[in-house]
A and B are shown apart, each in its own frame.
Chain A
Amino acid sequence: MKKGLKTRTLREKIFSYFFTLIMSIILILDGFFLYKITTVTEKNAHSYSYEIIKQLGRNVESYVEYMKQVSWVLSQDSEIRSMLKKEVIGELVYEMPTLEQFKMNANIANDIESIIVFGTNGVRLVDNDQYKIKNYINVEEMDWYKEAIHANGNFVVSLSHIQNYIENNDTWVFSVSRSIIDKKTKEVLGVMLIDMSYKKLADICNQITLGNTGYVYIMSQNKDIIYHPQQQLIYSGLKSENLTSVQQKVEGSFMEKEDKTKLVTVHTLPEIGWTVVGVSYFNEFMLSMTNILLTIGVISLICVVLSLIVAGQISQEISKPILELEDIMSQVEKGDLSVNIDIETNTKEIQNLSGSLHTMLWEIRALLRKIKENETDLRKSELKVLQAQINPHFLYNALDTIIWLGERKENDKVVLMTSALAKYFRLSLSKGAEVIPLFNEIEHIKYYLQIQKIRYEEKLNYSIRIDPNIYEYLTVKIILQPLVENAIYHGIKDKDEEGFIFIEGHKEGDNVILSVQDNGKGMTKEQMETILTRPISLAITKGGVAIKNVHQRIQVYFGQEYGLSYQSELGKGTKVTVTIPALTEWEGGK
């Protein structure tokens, strides 16, 4: 493990990975939505306010446009013209029914304050005589008069002003004026002045809602403000509008950064020369966005909670069988091989893993059982060998023979027998070593055969032919004696004719081959097949060391490829071949 990394449980890891994944997805989505909503809101704000301002512009334009037509019709009126051509002394105020009629007809919305024609001849034509024109002021000084003269018969729209030519009047108006020109002499006959209610214009502008605090103002061609809801503040310098950039924009909208971001929408009315400007505060458009943001925030939080639950669930689902496996393994670690691997899961890998573990445990158990069995077998066979070393039966028989020889006064044979017996037992014990040189083993079988020869006399004949070169090789002790014993007891003993045992030994490749051959009664096929495999216990009851025991011991000491093999023919005899490796050194002597 790398340094500095804290060990974490699988569950914690899966949980944190999932949680991080889900959180980052949520964050990315939130960011995306935020960006999208901001841009969309901004775009909408622009198009929304532009539409509103355009609509307002249309209203204002149609309103003024209509007056333009009215003033044109009136300026062409012959009755008015004839009145203006009259010669009068001083000033003459005359109420004209035509003007009143026109005012009545045009004044659907009650937004015309007055229609007055100021004649250069001193005639004042008015729509009614309810108001008094101040006789002490000079209208020729006034802007609307000068502009109308300058426009030479064309239509002029003035800035807002008080009707200061009418006595006791404090009505705010904006004026539509037009000079009336004599068609023949091109002389100015007078100026017609239609005063429109400024309040109506203000109302039209105020009706517009651009957010909570947005407003609309109107600017003239000369960058004069015609209408502004905060005109007072502007004159006092408490507030200012960037009229230059508005004039440059002409059409469309732009953002202006002050302490608050303003969205300024501009729409120019070419017919009148006015520019309608909408100012709205961008953060108000964003207010609806805050609601959306709040919703997104709440949804995100719900998602986070859900992701916590889901991540928890997933991590539990995945880690549970592994944790169970871990439990089982720790039990196994403690030595309990009999645990039951029963994990409920539908995960293929976990199923495979637990299956493998199951097989592995099963095999370990089988192996252990086998090792145990081998151990007991080995112990038993060692016991057998021990028994064989001091086979009481054999000893008894040998002693019996000695007594018998003694009684017959065959002293030579007694000496021979006793000496052979003594040597036989000494070799049997072999100072406790299990593996002995082959020479000793051959000596051992020679003494044994000497003893048996004295007993069986002519009935037993034998011959030993061992290649002296193999004497030095090592062998497990007492392997030939049981084979020879077997040959005597089962092959020759019950036979009427003379028995013959032939012992041979030589080296063949890396192996040493020893064989014991008899001319006894031989074995059936079944006997031959079972002789090496039948249970050892059977052999014990029959006395003597079983052939199987020899076979097993050779295999335990030298390996599975070594051991005994039988050739036999019923009635003709049996040949046992012993194959052992040609070893001169033995390590780990047991």
Chain B
Amino acid sequence: MKKIKKWMIVVAAILIILVNIIGFKWVEFKEKGSIKIVLIPKSVSSDFEFWQTVMQGAELAAKEENAILEVKGALLEKDIETQKQALKEAIDEKADVIIIAAADTKALIELIEEAQAKKITVLTVDSKTEGIENIQHVATNNIEAARALTQYMASAIEEGGEVAMVSFVEGTGTAKEREQGYKEEMQRHPFLKMHPTVYCEGTVQGSYKVTKELLKKYPNLKGIIGANQQSTDGICDAVQELGLTGKIKVVGFDSSNTIIYALEKDVIDAIIVQKPFNMGYLAVKNGLEVYRGKKIPEFIDTGYKFIDKETLYLIENQKLLYPIIK
């Protein structure tokens, strides 16, 4: 009889242990649901539709995955110090996944390596860093997009001539890549003369200024390519003001009201729009995959869309041009 009592105690003990294990697993499961993701875009300004759309995509993915998303960063794209600060905070907060759009290819290397040492999954979105191994990059294939845009411009300038690029911040990954793609494609068109790239420091005003200077310096310029939204905005303003509509082929990256108006008015011929929503969405999705230990390719292409006057108001293009419902 004593034997059986002992046996019962053993069974009861096993049951209690089982209950505890199940309970802990449950709690673990619940906690696993709340993976913390920090997104650090180049700008958190609500005026910056591109980054707002990236955030929307990221938010949707986080909601689907039942993860917590926190966005932090600088208001201005070139504010590298604030971005560093944000990254430092994210590391201190013990985020599980950090998704960062590097404002500079080199400035963040140390911090990112620190995060990786602390077993934090780090991904770059839109703009990448240089010299860090084992980091996934979610972005538009900028080289390919720049080549496509350049090719369109080249074929529009049938008679040949001089061409220049207005870029934004020197040293940023995207600027480098777009310039690379542009230059690669230009080599395939010997009848086009390539002038040195100018930089607008990421503002419309700056671009307007440098474009005007450019047009003054090279009066025979036949084509201008804008490397991002601000650059293209400024180009459109300058070209329109100088009454050069139709005389100069303008192509550029990204869209804005100015650019769309310019498209309607034939100031600009074509634009390439990126898919910021996809960028945010895919960055979070892939970030979680990496976090869960899955192998994914180093580069995730989020795609781009080529838009001209004809395709401007196709419904799917409208969605890209006006990503935020107002």
A residues with a Cβ closer than 8 A to B are 11-12, 15, 134, 136-137, 159-162, 164, 167-168, 170-172, 198-199, 202, 212-213, 224, 229-233, 235-236, 238, 294, 297-298, 301, 304-305, 308-309, 312, 315-316
Contact = CB atoms under 8 A, between A and B. Distances in A.
A301 B15 contact: yes
A57 B12 CA distance: 55
Nearest to A231: B319
B257 A232 contact: no
B326 A170 contact: yes
B281 interface: yes
Contacts of B323: 232
| Those 7 A-B pairs whose CB atoms lie nearest each other, nearest first | A232-B277, A235-B316, A172-B325, A170-B322, A171-B326, A199-B325, A236-B278
B51 to A, nearest CB: 15
B19 A199 contact: no
Contact of A229 (B11, B60, B66, B319): B60
Contacts, number: 83
Interface string B1-44: 10011001001100100110010001000000000000000000
B303 interface: yes
Contacts of B322: 162, 170, 172
B63 A161 contact: no
6 contacts: A11-B4, A15-B4, A170-B257, A232-B320, A236-B303, A312-B5
Contacts of B1: 11, 316
A232 B63 CA distance: 16
A136 B4 contact: no
Contact of B261 (A168, A301, A304): A168
Contacts of A164: 313
Contacts of B60: 229-230, 233
B252 interface: no
Contact of B19 (A168, A298, A315): A298
A224 B277 CA distance: 21
Contacts of B325: 172, 198-199, 202
B64 interface: yes
Given A298-B19, A305-B12, A233 B66 contact: no
B23 to A, nearest CB: 9
A159 B315 CA distance: 9
Nearest to B22: A297
A137 B12 CA distance: 81
A232 B15 contact: no
Nearest to B312: A164
B114 interface: no
B137 interface: no
Nearest to A203: B325
Contacts of B18: 301
A230 B285 CA distance: 14
B326 A233 contact: no
Given A11-B1, A168-B261, A162 B278 contact: no
A232 B313 contact: no
A558 to B, nearest CB: 56
A11 B7 CA distance: 13
A160 B316 CA distance: 11
A162 B11 contact: no
Given A172-B326, A294-B26, A212 B261 contact: no
Contacts of A297: 22
Contacts of B277: 232-233, 236
Contacts of B264: 134, 136-137
Interface in B35-79: 57, 60, 63-64, 66
Given A137-B264, A161-B318, A236 B4 contact: no
A437 to B, nearest CB: 68
B84 interface: no
Contacts of B250: none
Contacts of A167: 261
Nearest to B29: A290
Contact of A213 (B66, B257, B278): B66
B195 interface: no
Contacts of B315: 159-161, 224
A198 B1 CA distance: 77
A167 B319 CA distance: 18
B161 to A, nearest CB: 28
A232 B275 contact: yes
B189 interface: no
Contacts of A298: 19
B265 interface: yes
Given A136-B264, A162-B322, A238 B281 contact: yes
Nearest to B11: A308
Contacts of A170: 257, 322, 326
